[in-house]
Structure 1
């Protein structure tokens, strides 16, 4: 072997083979691209607003994740304290499945008005229905034990593909309108009447109440709940306007949801200011349909009323609901006996359920309460508990 050959051998031993070098370069570039498009958890973004003490408690409860804009309200009887980061009490958010508490209140109101009864069957609302689905009662839907599937059956193969795809491109997976919700009942398979969270069920309930009242669901929410309570920042959207987007759990943009005909399951937008009005009115019984919050039956480890869940832990009883859409998460809960409660609205798909501990801390109880998330694809689809909003008990 010549000196030159020895030199080449030595040099080769000191550097990676060409193929390995290319692979390392490709891996480095891939990592750089992923880092650019998927932000790391960076804690709370934006300037803090409102009460520093509440914000500090919220940060401790929620931990270090990718938070963009977060707004919170703590209710103590007639006293309301607001806090946030990058947001304030008038910042608009999607509240996800907390919408179901409004639909449940409309159900209670419709009963009081004589438009429906608790045991009104779907076949009485839509006489063309027949078979098992016609026997499903409105109360069984409101108590999440109707046997209806968790999600709306897709009307076509194309819609099914688009709904699945929406989970990956972070767009609204709900494509059908009110007519599609009603039409889907002709082909739906009804299971056993046992506890099972169903976004589809609440879409059906909301459209049934609209049919009984002869009004759109949007109008019912406005005329029977938000206007009487002075909730001027709460509404059912008919377009994505007003919100640029939310964010996935890792910080990628996620499009707003309007949910179409499934709006009664999770479409409402609101602010912590208005949600504090809602919490106080439901808690003290002055809200239209406030009786919906009262527990009526067991649901897994909790109790359920019409939409509302009730959890008892270490002497503290919390009434609550959470929510989730593709780019938002929310929590509203209160202790009816003490009048204390918490609201957290967040424009990322990171759960805020841990904030329930702040209610217990305020009442002096040691909390182990956890709420279950509403999304199936990260409330995901507004249902589902809501990883997708479609499945979050949110």
Structure 2
């Protein structure tokens, strides 16, 4: 909206007094700051699609916040229920670190193919490596106890500053090719093998599997997972051109992330419908590398870890899960092995959706059923209905 044009006579010439300029500048600065901090309203945006009861249950679990578009899928055995606000089953999202569950599946599948073993060392994959890092095994990386740091070390001060700047500009902070990734391994200290979540580690794992197979990571995902399962809308992007973008937690546009050589840690794009296929096949044990989801080691006080997948130990039922986050997207995927019930939540704004874990229970299903039966309080609007207003 533009300001109205002043066509009346000017009664003052020259510059306005300084005392008038300062309040205007301050007011304009405050207004701009408020716009940048909160440029879109709280609550879910867009028309509700699919099952309104499921959307309502998700809204209750996630709580109020600055949301944009969101998709929810509940899987109960062979039954799949979809819901969303401003999104449907074919809407594309960045799934962030849920990508690691695909990389872990490639690892399990490569073991079944005889290409690698849990004990395969990085020095066997890349003979140019030496020292302690060459002795790190793929199995240790897959269970997040390799000693590799959370992020790839910056090759120079300039690269480090560029990564920091990317955070402020909401652009992809990951760059570099596989050669850069392998060179970075020479810079790390891997003496501490206590469990530590490492994006760098899973980037290395995925590229190691690609190196052994003689294929690119994107090709492995397509040939060994998405094509066999019919996940036609799931892929590893090679460039950001033409990709949709998400929003920061305050609603600013965030550039798409492709992650370069770090793609195995978080670059996959998918849809709610495809992720339902992934969830069902993993729960049923029919997905390539489905064994990756089985817990193998203690990770911390509340979780055990398989290859990438976490399994809670502090709640009933225990939930096997992973979440994800990029500059403009958040995601959660979890399931209860006992009941065969799972949930997927994908959001194109950077607000946590981890509370979706509470939807994997009979209690949550019961609340959703009550709403579907129209048992909400008279005169009230559900959280999902409120989310339809912009």
**Under a length normalisation based on structure 2, what TM-score does the superposition of the two structures give?**
0.86
Q: Is it true that 1:34 corresponds to 2:37 in the alignment?
A: no
Match of 2:255 in 1: 255
After superposition, give the CA deviation of every residue in 1:226-277 in whole Å (9 maximum; x if it has no partner). 0110100100000113423110000000000000000000000001100000
Counterparts of 2:343 and 2:363 in 1: how far apart (Å)? Answer: 10
Counterparts of 2:254 and 2:40 in 1: how far apart (Å)? Answer: 16
After superposition, give the CA deviation of every residue in 1:75-100 in whole Å (9 maximum; x if it has no partner). 01000000000110110000000000
Structure 1 residues 363 and 198 mapped into 2: Cα distance closer, same or farther (>3 Å)? same
Structure number with higher relative contact order (C-alpha < 8 Å, ≥ 6 residues apart): 2
Match of 1:179 in 2: 179
Note the C-alpha offset of 1:68.
1.1
After superposition, give the CA deviation of every residue in 1:284-311 in whole Å (9 maximum; x if it has no partner). 1111000000000111121000000001
Note the C-alpha offset of 1:29.
1.6
Note the C-alpha offset of 1:364.
7.8
Which runs of no fewer than 5 residues in structure 1 stay unpaired?
A: 1-17, 367-394
Once the two structures are superposed, the pairs formed by residues 239-388 of structure 1 within 5 Å of their partners are: 239-300=239-300, 301-361=302-362
Match of 2:193 in 1: 193
Counterparts of 2:70 and 2:313 in 1: how far apart (Å)? Answer: 27
| RMSD of aligned residue pairs (Cα, Å) | 1.8
1:72–1:83 contact (8 Å) kept in structure 2 = yes
Structure 1 window deviating more from structure 2 (244-253 vs 91-100): it is 244-253
Counterparts of 2:342 and 2:84 in 1: how far apart (Å)? Answer: 16
Note the C-alpha offset of 1:361.
4.1
After superposition, give the CA deviation of every residue in 1:11-59 in whole Å (9 maximum; x if it has no partner). xxxxxxx988765443322121123333154211111110000011111
Match of 2:140 in 1: 140
Match of 1:154 in 2: 154
Match of 1:369 in 2: none
Match of 2:4 in 1: none
Note the C-alpha offset of 1:157.
2.3
Note the C-alpha offset of 1:362.
5.2
1:49–1:86 contact (8 Å) kept in structure 2 = yes
Match of 1:389 in 2: none
2:137–2:146 contact (8 Å) kept in structure 1 = yes
Structure 1 residues 318 and 20 mapped into 2: Cα distance closer, same or farther (>3 Å)? farther
